[in-house]
Structure 1
Amino acid sequence: MITASMVKELRERTGAGMMDCKKALTACDGDMEKSIDWLREKGIAKAAKKNDRIAAEGLTRAAVNGNTGVVFEVNSETDFVAKNEKFLGLLDEIQAVLIENKPADLDAALACAASEGTVADAVTTATATIGEKISLRRIAVVEKADDEFFGCYMHMGGKISALVTLKGKADEAVAKNIAMQIASMAPQYVNRDEMPAEVVEHERKVQTEIVKNDEKLANKPEKVLAGIIEGKISKNLKDLCLVEQEFFLDPNMKVAQYLKENGCDVVNFVRYAVGEGIEKRQDNFAEEVMSQAFGG
């Protein structure tokens, strides 16, 4: 059964109209990812925007101490609580614990000793004290070599945090600029070599269908069509790669050029945005009307 909330989510992710979204979901038996592709192949949706719905509150944080960098996210139910002194104090404690203990994953982090038992205990205490569900959602601990540089940036007090490791002649200013690039432009990979083959093949499938359905290209030779498809793949995937993005301080320059001019390369990066990938229930009049219309 196609529900109003499914139609709403597809609209948010593709920008397509309500009826087109319902038609896509119906054609794809309610499969969200297939429906996105269906809309793209029909030329109704220009791009599939994934993980761009901020559906939980809280803060992320990035911090550096010597050769250790950490990035983590702590969620709360409301943005108001994210400004609470006790909540901010919890982030301070978690930051210190992560830098000192360098846990390998979230479970290990929650088991680390804290001021009140473990980090898990500290989170539970914060939940009881603040009166909202608080959770440590994810962590990343990054170690760098002595000849590498960290770039660290937090946007809007921690709504987005980025940590990047550079090698070469980079200095702190260059490293911070790259961290700001990552925070603002949300790349998923350093370069095309890091991109999984299945990501490229998926885009090739979508673009092949788009070209196949384009009447203007109906009489083009196969070789020409193949070139058009590869060009579209490259265009759509370039913004997923950090080095292929336009540099935010100079749109006439690619990030790769900025790095080359400063004699450095990116080793790795981590970017967290608050609530990305979490869906939060939102009751409003528009959804209620859609619910009645679609029987959701």
Structure 2
Amino acid sequence: MINKRALKALLEERRALIKPEDHDLTRPTGQGRRARGLSQQQVDELTARAPHTYNRLETGRYTNPPVDYLRQVARLFGLNEQEWVSLCRYAGIGDPPGPLTAASGLEVPGVWQEAVDGITHMAYVTDASWNLLAHNQCWASLFPGGRIPRNTMRWMLLDPDGRNTLLDWHTVWAPLVLPQLRAALAVRPDDETLLQIAKEVAADPDLAPLWEAGGAHIHPDGDERPILHAEHGPGHVTMCAAQPMTAPGARLIILIYHPGARKAHTRVPVLRARETP
């Protein structure tokens, strides 16, 4: 459902910040319009759309606007990723099918390093291509000889150290990690890092059959998996996964380590807000 009031407020505010002169256009003179920023007609011109197309969008009269048009407007207005999500939701199409730009998800605010350092469990942050952006010392101690991987997806699937560290790799880790790679490529089909990893996966005799078989598991949040810690020995980790709001596809992973074999037990109950008496 279109949220006309929120949509109009977002678009009017951001349109007012765009100077016509920056796009080799002139500000209207004489009687009439005195509003700041681009006119609605100028937005139509810059997006190569029929007259009044943008007016229909801003006033909430454009039902089910195409994603490519919303993307044009978002880039023209310099929206960030959070605003891009809001634009799509307010316009009535739900969450966007992908990030606003190819560079989205490849960086997070620098304060994330401080945040990760403050976590007592193993913790790290990767970008949308699984390149390592930040980690704490607790996580670094997991790796033999301190050989910290630059790309955690490559390490989990293709690195011999990864296959040794991730216990029951053939049956527990690889079948659950590969669908994550496939899902990421569906959103970022031109990501060179992910494409190269997928190419190597398809050529790997151990991974190729699993890759062809597919799989539906995507998110590791809440999973428990066996692991060989370089300092503490065999154990298992409970995985907590989250996404920085400004970087779609990036992820914060927290690994809660438990020594020894995993004991059969009931999972910790989910957290849910208490009902008001």
Regarding TM over 0.5, the answer is no
Indicate the structure (1 or 2) with the bigger Cα radius of gyration. Answer: 2
Choose between structure 1 and 2 for higher RCO, CA contacts under 8 A separated by at least 6 residues: 1
Q: Scaled by the length of structure 2, what TM-score is found?
A: 0.22
TM-score scaled to structure 1, two decimals?
Answer: 0.21
Higher strand share: 1
